[in-house]
Chains A and B, each alone.
Chain A
Amino acid sequence: MNKQITVTVNGTEHTLEVEPRLLLVHMIREVLNLTGTHIGCDTTSCGACTILLDGKSVKSCTILAVQADGKSIKTIEGVSAEGQLDSLQEGFHLNHGLHCGFCTPGMIMRATELLENNPNPTEEEIRWGISGNLCRCTGYNNIVKAIQYASAKNRGVETASTEPEFV
């Protein structure tokens, strides 16, 4: 028996019929067609599927769609309007914070919550804060820099980043 749920996704309310055992990540990707939320493991290991549920970061492969009933979801597509970048996205851009970019949406959702709770984290706090998210490509150090950039920018602090030379 399908169940009817109502969720607000990136500010828009949706009423959907879902299988009771459907995972939230599959609802996001296949029903809502928001493919920026990725799947890397299906087993809570990698964090590629991280979204914000009522403002808290969760791995959307570990909860059922029906558990999101009545709640608000933010995915990577809701972080900034099309054509714009928020401070984290800009931080990733200017600091080469990704290679393949498959882990990036999850990293950014996790970092969004981290900066919300702790606007000026130490490097150590950033590393621990993101340690649930895997990146197979980068070596992580530029991801830390990207988050530091966003933290500084959000607080109106001049960053040490050098003026980027654009092509």
Chain B
Amino acid sequence: MQQNTSAIDRRKFLKLSGITGTGFLIGLNRGLANTVVTGYFQPGADVYEFTPLINIEKSGTITIFNTRPEIGQGTWQAVPSMIAEELEVSLDQVTIVQTGGEKKYGPTQWVGGSSSVRGAYTDLRKTGASAKEMLQKAASIKWNVPFEECYAANGKIFHKPSGKSLGYGELAEAASKLEVPAAPKLKDPKDFKILGKATPRPDVPLKSSGRAVFGIDASTPGMVYASIERCPVMGSKLVSFDDSATKNVKGVLQVVKSERIVGIYRYETIAVIAENYWAALQGRKALKVKWDYQGRESFNSKNFETKLRSLSSQEGLLDHSQGDFEKSFSAAAIKLEAFYETPFVSHSPIEPMNCLASWTAGNKLEIWTSTQVPGDVVSGTAKEFAIPEDNITLHTLFNGGAFGRRLINDYIYEAVDISKKISKPVKVIWTREDDTQQGPFRPLTFSAMKAGLSADGKAIAFQHKVIAPSLEATLEKNHDKTKVNKTMTEAISEQKYEIPNMKNTYVAADFDMPLLYWRAVTSTTLAFAHECFIDEMAVKAKKDPLDYRLGMVKKSSDTEKLLRKLKEVSNWNKKLPAGWGRGVAQYEFFAGLCGQVVEVSKKGKGIKIEKVYAVIDMGTIVNPDTVKGQVEGAIVMAISAAIKSGITFDKGQTMQTNFHNNPVLRINEMPVVEVHIIADGGEVIKGAGEPGLPPLAPALCNAIFAATGKRIRRLPFDINNI
């Protein structure tokens, strides 16, 4: 068994690592084998294009272009799989090439919102199916036999009656000249060979052998390094700087003023350029800089939070209203109110921000980087630096995590600006401190909750008022403050609970630093308030929290099915050992739907997370292993955000610097996770990357309440001291 596996491994590895001897996978890191990006892709002779996403060469080589950058979520496999399935080839038989924002590859060159599969499932299958039909037609013409007597399998077209066959390479030229079928026939899912199957990812051999190239690994001849000094009080004005000591550091080449463009902000910066990264860092440390903080040094978390609490008395902008909340609330037999608080958090992907840019004569620009948005890197850079898009070549390399951080181009513009100024290829690398301190951050949200229940505990009135800074206000100059920023009220009005009187509102708080989408965005904080409060209502109603939800939820909705499944797989009614407790939560939002049951036990003064059961509702899936991995990864991220440090400010500066004071969960702290997938093959496909985050914190805190009677209403909290 294992030998077999190795043999297949080896073939796959050879193909992907560019040492097949065919010569068209080009290493970009001085001879080291690696993955392929469009900028380095050199097709062989006689290549035929079937839609820009599929190339077939006369030699038989098949290339599939992946428009969705790999950030760890598995698109490197999932996206080509959807094409390959219908094209009747295995991923083993194709070369996967990552696109770099080129116009011809279309508008889907980005990843975010758990959208890569759900947004493309049918289209990409059609792409593969069209090419297959063209090849089949070409064969039937060549053999002069009916189209229906032919079929495709394993990269060949066969003639059923005679058994003769032709490889795709032999048919490519004739097939590529045929008309593209408008409505190609898609496979019956029961015949799938790739989709829906748990298959090892093709990028793992590369990544586990050090041969995958991440943005930070890129290099080009003549490259120099830059480390950039940015004011710790974001938004300050540069008064002056003294770089005499910097220039004495061996290896330092020059110091230039530059700029960080992030959302609506433009921050002045100082870049230290050196022969190597270490010298650039030392030179940067030797800078003496005078900043004018312009009053921003008075900003701190404590006052800001007090402000948010006081803003909760404001009416706010209406997100959603049904029935008459005020009247039903004041008439309710049982009333409850609670206030929930959450922190700012950093994205902290393990690969620090970086970009290599080379601005050369004639305003030509080459960029190597880790990014979620190749399309936007090209168009955004062209606009920002006033050059034609065609002048830009972008190499989209593997991302060492992203979680939303790599949706904006601030670190890319830095490298481009510096390269333009010094006329050399320059690699900008952020330190972990830069990454932790400079944002953009996921905004915090505070929530003022109210509910009115009837005497028998039925929910009749409900309010979720969100008090928070506006994320979009820091990203868009023309943001309209008179309208609800839907990102800040994400899905609070879309849960499937049927409560007759509801009023959800949003109070905007002023905040003047860069904010950004984080994996599952504000659903991660709003679900905490929403689902813990539903639990509080269940307690007041003296009902089992899961049954209480089931009693309220829209009948036959996906949420109802999910909760029933969760009840079953978590053995909800089974008695737990003494000192244990379990809690449940679900949240449905733009990316999809997941519910979780968390089991905890008392341990000294603290709590141990024993087990997490997750059920994710998907509809249709490409790779169940990837889905499970994404949910588990979302859970670890959510636990970190719930029980580890968030981002706080004092004297206008971020207080956290690195993993020691902005920690993420370590392996010995990770609970057992059991993931169940609901995939009934429906037309509606939901996302996998994000939905696992929102339910964790409320399910955990509900479990802690069940075990200890202590209600947690503020994140993060110290799990070792409840």
Contacts and interface: CB of A to CB of B under 8 A. Distances in A.
B479 to A, nearest CB: 30
Q: How large is the interface on A (under 10, 10 to 19, 20 to 34, 35 or more residues)?
A: 35 or more
A85 B633 contact: no
Nearest to B194: A167
Contact of B659 (A38, A46, A130): A46
Contacts of A90: 2, 5-6, 9
B533 interface: no
A35 B213 contact: yes
A103 B350 contact: yes
Interface of A: 19, 21-23, 26, 29-30, 33-43, 45-46, 48, 75-77, 79-80, 82-85, 88-90, 92-94, 96-105, 108, 127-128, 130-131, 133-144, 153, 163-167
Interface stretch (B13-21, B238-246, B447-455, B546-554): B13-21
A104 B351 contact: no
Interface in B63-115: 70-74, 81, 84, 90-92
Interface of B: 1-2, 5-6, 8-10, 12-14, 17, 19, 29-30, 32-33, 70-74, 81, 84, 90-92, 193-194, 197-201, 203-214, 216-217, 219, 250-251, 276-279, 282, 348-352, 398-403, 431-432, 625-626, 628-630, 632-633, 635-637, 658-660, 664, 666-668, 670, 672-673
A36 B211 contact: yes
A48 B278 contact: no
A102 B401 contact: yes
Contact of B72 (A19, A80, A100): A100
B8 A43 contact: no
Nearest to A149: B2
Contacts of B201: 93, 96
B399 to A, nearest CB: 6
Please classify the interface of chain A as helix (H, G, I), strand (E, B), loop, or mixed, using the class held by over half of its residues.
loop
A92 B201 CA distance: 10
Contacts of A84: 6, 10, 13
Contacts of B637: 136
B205 A85 contact: yes
A134 B197 contact: no
Given A26-B276, A167-B194, 4 more contacts: A41-B658, A43-B432, A165-B199, A166-B92
A46 B629 contact: no
Contacts of B203: 101
A92 B210 contact: no
Contact of B214 (A38, A94, A135): A38
Nearest to A77: B210
A164 to B, nearest CB: 6
Contacts of A138: 629, 632-633, 636
Contacts of B206: 101
Contact of B200 (A21, A33, A141, A164): A164
A77 B209 contact: yes
5 contacts: A30-B277, A39-B216, A75-B210, A76-B209, A141-B673
Contacts of B633: 99, 137-139
Nearest to B632: A139
Contact of A22 (B84, B278, B659): B278
Contact of B667 (A34, A100, A140): A140
B194 A77 contact: no
B700 to A, nearest CB: 15
Given A35-B213, A40-B351, A77-B211, A23 B278 contact: yes
